[in-house]
């Protein structure tokens, strides 16, 4: 909604007629104060939204780091040797089922 110069002049004349020239400074201060409060409220809301949206991003980053760490320890030749020999290697730990693993959190969704 855009106002032309003529429309703004008409509004200014109407305000002067309705409230008088003595109250114009007070009306302008009150209007400015209201605008500042609204901008502050909008900034607070933006800050809260950014905080809330930042949390899932950091959780995803932690999950990516976990996957990277797991990939570093992965050795596909162990599985090949295991399949060829038919028994686990001596240095291989027995695998836990996910139901036995207390640190397993399952898929994360929000």
Report pLDDT digits (tens) over 4-34: 999 989 988 998 899 888 888 898 899 899 9
**Domain-located, residue 17:** yes
Share of the chain above pLDDT 70, in %: 66
* Confidence at 95, pLDDT banded by 50, 70, 90: low
Does a structural domain hold residue 106?
A: no
Q: Is 59 among the domain residues?
A: yes
- Interhelix angle for 5-19 vs 24-73, to 10°? 120
Domain range holding 56? 7-85
Give, as one character, the DSSP assignment of residue 97. Answer: P
pLDDT at 43: 94
Q: Is residue 53 part of a domain?
A: yes
Write down the mean pLDDT value for the chain: 78
> Which pLDDT score is estimated for 69?
85
- Three-state SS across 4-18? CHHHHHHHHHHHHHH
Query: Where does the pLDDT of residue 62 fall: very low under 50, low under 70, confident under 90, or very high at 90 and above?
Result: confident
In a domain, 77, yes or no: yes
Q: Residue 68 falls within a domain, yes or no?
A: yes
**Considering the entire predicted model, what is its pTM?**
0.40
What's the confidence (pLDDT) of residue 83?
67
- Number of folded domains in the chain? 1
| Cα–Cα distance for residue pair 7/4, rounded to 1 Å | 5
Question: Is residue 42, in this structure, part of any structural domain at all?
Answer: yes
């Amino acid at each position: 909604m855009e106002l032309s110069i003529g429309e703004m002049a008409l509004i200014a004349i109407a305000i002067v007629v309705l409230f008088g020239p003595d109250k114009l400074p007070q009306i302008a201060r009150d209007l400015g104060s209201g605008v500042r409060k609204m901008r502050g409220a909008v900034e607070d809301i933006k800050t809260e939204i950014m905080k809330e949206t930042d949390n899932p991003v950091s959780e995803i980053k932690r999950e990516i780091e976990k996957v990277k760490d797991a990939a570093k320890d992965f050795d596909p030749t162990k599985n090949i040797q295991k399949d060829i020999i038919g028994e686990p290697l001596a240095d291989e730990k027995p695998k836990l089922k996910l139901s036995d693993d207390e640190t397993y959190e399952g898929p994360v969704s929000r």
